[in-house]
Amino acid sequence: MSKLLRKPGTNNEAPTTTPTTKTGTLVHDVTASNSPLSYIGFKIVDLAPGEVYAEELGKTECCIVAVTGRIHVTAQGETYENIGTRTSVFEKIPTDSVYVSNDSAFQVEAVTPARIALCYSPSTKQLPTRLIRAADNQVEHRGQYHNQRTVHNILPDSDPGANSLLVVEVFTDSGNWSSYPPHKHDRDRLPDESLLEETYYHEINPPQGFVFQRVYTDDRSLDETMTVENGDVVIVPKGYHPVGVPDGYTSYYLNVMAGPTRIWKFHNDPAHEWILKR
């Protein structure tokens, strides 16, 4: 098994943050201690109606994404009720999220069956906790030919309301490629390239499908090609990381990025950059 590919229910160790209440099903728990990542933590939690997940953050910030279902979120004295917009990600509509700053506590209660993503990164400067409404997501259409995808920008680098986190959703249709041509962001070499680690949480429609994701470096000291199934997480500590979607299936992934500087500047693989010049 690849060290970069996580199946649901694996590597779910005790979290590095301090839980005060913990119910529901922990589907994924990616931490610095069980992965090659230094800047990103990531969880997927399933909640039944009425179940509550609560946590106290230390020197980390968190973006709570209502992947599916409806939830109440309480943080810093505010309660955001009945947030979440869809029962399936493949409705292809933006969803609601909540940004919670470091040194804060939060609680998520499920109104309907819900799947939430908890996206973490280091933070020492406290910012306002806030609701990121679905209507606030910037929707982009990127690429051409068989390199087309739709992006929902939940917490892009143009939004100053986070210290480290970048969070986006990407939909790629049947027979298309995404994160393509292959690009990377693993060198702190601004203004040309930023150092950002990344995680991909994948869903596939219909769910018996699969996609392919390759993670590789110029010197091939890291070079893994993975068959990714519904609900898997891929860890990208460095390198290029394209995704290919087979005919008949649609791909969704939730990206979390973080690094020393909160800006997304990427470098295309020179061997494949010619594709952009057609």
Q: For residue range 59-86, what is the model confidence (pLDDT) as tens digits?
A: 999 999 999 999 999 999 999 999 999 9
Per-residue model confidence (pLDDT) at position 223:
97
pLDDT band at 1 (very low <50, low <70, confident <90, very high): low
Strand runs labelled E in 76-196: 78-83, 97-100, 105-110, 114-122, 130-132, 138-142, 149-155, 166-172, 177-178, 183-184, 186-189, 193-195
Percent of the chain with pLDDT over 90: 88
Q: Rounded to an integer, what distance in angstroms lies between the CA atom of residue 226 and that of residue 253?
A: 15
Show Cβ contacts of residue 123 under 8 Å, excluding neighbours closer than 6 positions. Answer: 59, 60, 61, 101, 102, 162, 163, 164
Give tens-digit pLDDT for 169-224: 999 999 999 999 999 999 999 999 999 999 999 999 999 999 999 999 999 999 99
Please give the structure tokens belonging to residue 178. 């995404």
Per-residue model confidence (pLDDT) at position 22:
63
Determine the Cα angle at 167 with ends 162 and 169, to 5°. Answer: 155
Show Cβ contacts of residue 270 under 8 Å, excluding neighbours closer than 6 positions. Answer: none
Q: Rounded to an integer, what distance in angstroms lies between the CA atom of residue 125 and that of residue 105?
A: 15
Per-residue model confidence (pLDDT) at position 9:
85
Q: What is the mean pLDDT of residues 102-116?
A: 97
Q: What is the mean pLDDT of residues 14-27?
A: 62
Closest CA to 202 of 180, 235, 233, 246: 233
Provide the sign of the torsion angle of the four alpha carbons 257, 137, 86, 130, taken in this order: positive
Residue type, 67: V
CB 61 within 8 A of CB 164: yes
Domain boundaries, the chain: 5-277
Question: Which of 15-19, 20-24, 221-225 shows the lowest per-residue confidence on average (mean pLDDT)?
Answer: 15-19
Output DSSP code: residue 87: S
Residue type, 129: T
Other Cβ atoms within 10 Å of 85 Cβ, number: 16
Q: Rounded to an integer, what distance in angstroms lies between the CA atom of residue 39 and that of residue 135?
A: 28
Q: What is the mean pLDDT of residues 84-90?
A: 98
Q: Which residues pair with 224 in a beta bridge?
A: 215
Beta strand 130-132 pairing with 97-100: antiparallel
CB 72 within 8 A of CB 79: yes
Tell the CATH topology of 5-277. Jelly Rolls (2.60.120)
pLDDT band at 23 (very low <50, low <70, confident <90, very high): confident
pLDDT band at 39 (very low <50, low <70, confident <90, very high): very high
Please give the structure tokens belonging to residue 101. 């700053």
Per-residue model confidence (pLDDT) at position 143:
84
- The pTM for the full model equals 0.94
**At residue 154, does pLDDT exceed 70?**
yes
pLDDT averaged over every residue in the chain: 94
